[in-house]
Amino acid sequence: MSAVAALAAAAAVAGCGSTYYYAGRNLPPSGLLNRVLIAVQNPGVLSKGTLEIVDAYYDIRYGYTGQPASFTLAGYGGALPISIQNMPEEQLGAVYGAGDGSFTMANYGTEKTTGTISGLNGPSSSIFITRNGEWVFAASQQDHVLTIANHNSGASIALNLPGIYRVSVNPGGSVALAFVQNSNYVYYPRELTTSQSQAYSGGPTTWPKAAVDCEPQNAPSWCLFQAQSPDQVDATGNYYGAPLTFDRPVKAVFSTDGGTAYILDCGPECGGTASSVSLLPTAPMIFTLGEASGQLPTGSALASACPATGAASSCTIPVPGGASNALVDSSTMYVVGQEMMPDGFWGGHLTVLNLTSDSAAAPVSISDGTPGTESRMVEGDDNTLWIGMIQCTEGERYNNNLPYGCLTMYNTSTQQVVLLEPYVGDATGVTAVTGLHKIYAAEGGQVYIYSTTDGSVLDNQFVTVTGTAWDVAYMDAHSDADNSVY
């Protein structure tokens, strides 16, 4: 009888119908096993931002018995939080506040913040931390620098790159790529050895041709390189034919094995010519000391990324529907973008790429959005892919009296759009509550819940917030892959 009572008590404390916590994680102070974290802006006159927790099993903001009346992630003091980098495997989250430029670490186990990242240079237009919590890469478009901060030591360095506005970091935390607005180039930082630091200490004339900045200049510890050396000569001194060219690249996603960076060429959305996905090998771009293999460009490295012919032309996969965001699942890539329609309005499209054959299927129509602006993407239960857009009332669907909404539900098995959720405002955040067949979304400043089985709207009356809900994250996901791609 005592064993039965103990099991019943555990189930009651868990609040989710389960008697254990996944992967041996500690039961958090809230006692909840299925938590969604909500980044809320302006929740009151005395606060510019807060991080609220809701029970995603019962879809309530309070304890199952009615107490406590609400749950929060304690200690957050940032202003206007706009993004949550979700790392459930590490029991961590990283929250960026656009109002004060703060990048705050959240401990999911203790449900408290653990301080902000120091050494950042002004507001960040794009920022990510590696999953081991060691390195932070931030693009400061206002100050024209790529900031590299070591969270463990507190040291940071700023590499000059006029116009920088986005960064991408691979899941393994070994490669970072930087992107410049209205540019056709991609850049990557690398830490320098002692001999390299000495060799490059004479200023720009002593740097490699592909280096755009090395800091500090009298004894550089890091350099920022252009992914294609201007002289187009590989590491062995051989001329490398036609260079791999980009068309308004905006971000990168990475292959499952980590060996390839897929560069999203925004094309017409960003003032360019043609949208596509370009392949780059990651081995030469590893930033950690002594781990990079070779210099870019090298014929052998590009050949490994483009096995068909090894030629630069085969490293580009055309994506006529637009390419401003993407999600990789094994050998499949889902690419989202906007395509200019004959009537002059932009139309949202999803293109499915086969990464084994490097081929693209015909684009399918989804929610419209702002050209070149990052969308939100996440995979959920029941073979679903969810795509959130902003300003969907500016596109093809709205202006032609077609069904419209900012959140698309796509079935990856049937490869068909199931529906566009009813319009309630910009979809600024989306997270999959895996195992429970639902997703949470931040739309129009409020929290909504949808079923992954049929897309139906679920009751959200007990998870609505005071203030503006901007992003959401499933804190208890089984994998870091359950992270909104933005």
Spatial CA neighbour of 216 closest among 195, 201, 226 = 201
Contact indicator for 423, 389 with CB cutoff of 8 Å: no
Scan for tokens 């653990």, then name that residue.
114
Q: Quote the pTM value.
A: 0.91
SS3 assignment, position 22: helix
The CA distance from 301 to 245, in Å, is 15
358 is written with which tokens?
Answer: 């490097």
Q: What is the pLDDT of residues 225-261, one digit of tens each?
A: 998 756 555 555 444 444 567 999 999 999 998 889 9
Calculate Rg over the CA atoms of the chain. Answer: 23
What is the SS3 string spanning 267-303? HHHHCCCCCEEEEEECHHHCCCCCCCCCCCCCHHHHH
Other beta carbons less than 10 A from residue 120's beta carbon: 22
> Do the strands 81-87 and 71-72 form a parallel or antiparallel pair, or are they unpaired?
unpaired
What is the model's pLDDT at position 20? 56
Question: Among 183, 270, 163, which Cα is nearest to 227's?
Answer: 183
CA-to-CA distance for 235 and 292, rounded, in angstroms? 13
Q: What pLDDT, on the 0 to 100 scale, is given for residue 307? A: 53
SS3 sequence of 418-466:
EEECCCCCCEEEEEEECCCCEEEEEECCEEEEEECCCCCEECCCCCCCC
Give the pLDDT confidence score for residue 47 in this predicted structure: 86
pLDDT digits (tens, 9 = 90+) for 73-124: 999 999 999 999 999 999 999 999 999 999 999 999 999 999 999 999 999 9
Q: For Cα atoms 188, 192, 193, give the angle at the middle one, nearest 5 degrees.
A: 150
User: Could you say which DSSP state residue 227 is in?
Assistant: S
Q: Alpha carbon of 201 to those of 227, 231, 285, 350: distances in Å?
A: 22, 22, 21, 47
Q: For the chain, which residues make up each domain, given as ranges?
A: 1-114+372-390+404-486, 117-261+283-302
User: What pLDDT score was predicted for residue 35?
Assistant: 98
Q: Specify the amino acid at residue 43.
A: P
Output helix, strand, coil percentages for the chain, rounded to the nearest 5. Answer: 10, 40, 50
List the chain pLDDT tens, one digit each, 486 residues. Answer: 344 343 344 444 444 444 457 888 889 999 999 999 999 999 988 889 999 999 999 999 999 888 899 999 999 999 999 999 999 999 999 999 999 999 999 999 999 999 999 999 999 999 999 999 999 999 999 999 999 999 999 999 999 999 999 999 999 999 999 999 999 999 999 999 999 999 999 999 999 888 999 999 999 999 999 987 565 555 554 444 445 679 999 999 999 988 899 999 999 999 999 999 999 889 989 999 888 887 765 555 555 555 544 444 457 899 999 999 999 999 999 999 999 999 999 999 999 999 988 889 999 999 999 998 879 999 999 999 999 999 999 999 999 999 999 999 999 999 999 999 999 999 999 999 999 999 999 999 999 999 999 999 999 999 999 999 999 999 999 999 999 998
Residue in 98, 99, 113 with CA at minimum distance from that of residue 51: 113
DSSP code at position 54 = E
Phi/psi at 2 (nearest 5 deg)? -65, -35
Candidates 391, 458, 446, 441; CA nearest to 40 is: 446
Query: Residue 198: how many CB atoms within 10 A of its CB?
Result: 13
Which pLDDT score, from 0 to 100, does residue 66 have?
86
For residue 229, what are its two tokens? 């050396």
Q: String of b and e for 287-320 (b: at least 16 CB within 10 Å)?
A: beeeebeebbbbbebbbebbeeeeebebbbbebb
> And the tokens for 294?
């070779």
Which amino acid is residue 345, in one-letter code? Answer: F
> What DSSP state is assigned to residue 481?
T
Q: What is the rounded CA–CA span in Å between residue 59 and residue 68?
A: 15
Phi, psi of 447 (to 5 degrees): -100, 130
Report yes or no: 48 and 90 within 8 Å, Cβ to Cβ: no
What does the alpha-carbon distance between residue 245 and residue 241 come to, in Å, rounded to a whole number? 12
Helix/strand number for the chain, H first, E second: 4, 34
Q: How high is the pLDDT of residue 377?
A: 98
Place of tokens 């691979």: 170
